[in-house]
Amino acid sequence: MPNSLTRRNMLKGTGAAMLAAAGAAALPAAPALAAQASTTTAPEPGESTRAQRLAWWQAARFGMFIHFGTYSVIGRHEWNMEEEAVPVVEYAPHAKEFHPHPGSQRAWAKLAKQAGMKYMVMTTKHHEGFCNFDTKLTDYNAVKQGPGRDLVREYVEAARAEGLRVGFYYSLMDWRHPDGAICATDEAARKRFVEYTHGLVRELMTNYGKIDILWYDVDWPLTPEGWESERMNKMVFELQPEIIVNNRNGLKGDFSTPEQHITAETGGRAWESCMTMNDSWGYQAGDDNWKSSKTIVRNIITCAKGGGNYLLNIGPKGDGSIPEESVHVLREVGEWLQVNDHTVRDTDICQPGSSVYANFTCRGKTLYMHVHYWPGEYVAISGLMTKVKSAMLVLTGQPINFVQDEFRVRFTGLPIEAPQYPVTTLEIECEDIPTQDTGFVRKNHLRPSV
């Protein structure tokens, strides 16, 4: 079997199966990669300061992911090199055609802010091996190739100018580096490749001021021991004591990274669901499978309900411009958040969840009912075990009448048409922390004899 197929199958992991089980977003065009969590129980670097380092990020809830590299010029998805088995000698020259407009990153950052995002994570090096930053370790970098400038520096400055936190994505897997595959079986190659990898990470952690997130990706073909991941994270925390680090270098890290699906972590562990707006992370000209603003808003709500973050991707073109479809959707999401921000940020994990036309978030004794399929003049919740004290429409602040018995609460006198697009939110004050038990309704519902 050709090497690329073996590798691809291996990388596919369980992502597709999990996606199907979750019934979530569309299947990604590229393999969904399952991060291998370490099984060690010994404390990892940074563990003692984790909660404190994570606090801003958990409050931030919503961030922008950006996939940008040579693949953005080619326009055939960021896995193009491997998925079409393009030889390095044929692929690498495209880096000379990469000419993003100065100021593109500023436009991304402005859009992120408009969309209600609080942080950004950009690819500094993806699997293709091209470095978007100035490095002494390879000439295959943005300064020496087409852009002629340090794109990471421009990105960092743009994000900061808009008051957004800064994250670096870094792919451990490298399809171009001569040792990138052979390091699995040749110890001298492993040593060289690990030094190269740690060296690049060191440059990233040293040359750009305070960095808020390090987002590793794909630890093929080495184990965490092979990557010397503990030593690498130790260096990262020495250089950036307040940074947060994900789990894709084989260690547990600070947070989990469900990909293309939303699955809440348990036991208080932090998590962030990352997702594409169509089916590609890097620009793919032919991919027209765009998610609607309704889907995106519903996903933000689902993340908030489970106490997680949502990292939503844009794949700019080689000239740095963002596909119009994603600009449009992100603006709609931002408009919705202007009214509804407090209903999805700084919220608690929320137990109620059963409705065929709504989802829920909670803060203390307040329940937010987010109606995505507006049914008409009343909406109802089955099995709400907490007494409702009052309710209002978030959009207008208008009070809403309601009637409640032991099985249901009905909010009445509502407009026939949905008051807000794409989701209308009701703010419901309860006597206690809201809980729902539809099983109670099923068992006890009055059943007159026939």
Task: Enumerate binding residues for ligand GLC (CB under 6 A).
Answer: 30, 33, 67, 78-79, 217-218, 259, 274, 281
Q: Least distance in Å: CB of 69 to ligand GLC?
A: 10
- CB 126 to ligand GLC: min, Å: 6
Q: How far is the CB of 24 from ligand GLC (least distance, A)?
A: 14
Q: How far is CA 309 from CA 78, 410, 420, in A?
A: 24, 31, 24
Pairing label, strands 408-412, 388-393: unpaired
Query: Distance between the two ends of the chain, CA-based, in angstroms?
Result: 66
**Closest CB 217 distance from ligand GLC, rounded Å:** 5
Nearer to ligand GLC (CB atom), residue 245 or residue 423: 245
Considering beta carbons, is residue 95 or 380 the nearer one to ligand GLC?
95
Q: Which two tokens stand for residue 215?
A: 């987002």
Q: How far is the CB of 79 from ligand GLC (least distance, A)?
A: 6
Q: How far is the CB of 378 from ligand GLC (least distance, A)?
A: 41
Nearest to 276 by CA among 236, 312, 303: 312
Nearer to ligand GLC, 261 or 363 (CB): 261
Q: How far is the CB of 8 from ligand GLC (least distance, A)?
A: 10
Amino acid (1-letter code) at residue 103? G
Return the structure tokens found at 330.
């992100």
* Alpha carbons 195 and 189: distance in angstroms, whole number: 10
The residue among 78 and 228 lying less far from ligand GLC, judged by its C-beta, is: 78
Give 120-156 as a DSSP string.
Answer: EEEEEE-TT--BSS--SS-S-BTTTSTT-S-HHHHHH
The answer to whether 296 and 281 have CB atoms below 8 angstroms apart is: no
Distance CA 364, CA 342 (A): 13
Question: Minimum CB separation from ligand GLC for residue 309, in Å?
Answer: 13
CB of 56 to ligand GLC, least distance (A): 22
Element containing residue 8 per DSSP (H, E): helix 3-12
Q: Whose Cβ is closer to ligand GLC: residue 79's or residue 336's?
A: 79
Q: Which is nearer to ligand GLC, 154 or 279 (CB)?
A: 279
Determine the Cα–Cα distance for residues 103 and 320; give it in Å rounded to an integer: 9
In this complex, which beta carbon is closest to ligand GLC, that of residue 168 or of residue 402?
168
Residue number, 262 or 428, with CB nearest to ligand GLC: 262
Whether 50 contacts 254, CB under 8 Å: yes
Distance of CA 356 to the CA centre of its chain: 26
Q: Which residue has the tokens 């699995």?
A: 184
- Shortest distance (Å) from residue 41 CB to ligand GLC: 26
Cβ–Cβ < 8 Å for 76, 130: no
Nearer to ligand GLC, 82 or 179 (CB): 82
* Residue at shortest CB range from ligand GLC: 33
For 224-229, which contacts have Cβ atoms below 8 Å and span 24 or more sequence positions? 224/36, 224/38, 224/249, 224/250, 224/251, 226/183, 226/184, 226/190, 226/194, 227/172, 227/194, 227/197, 228/194, 228/198
Please check whether residue 244 is in contact with residue 255, taking contact to mean a CB–CB distance below 8 angstroms: yes
C-beta closer to ligand GLC: residue 79 or 227: 79
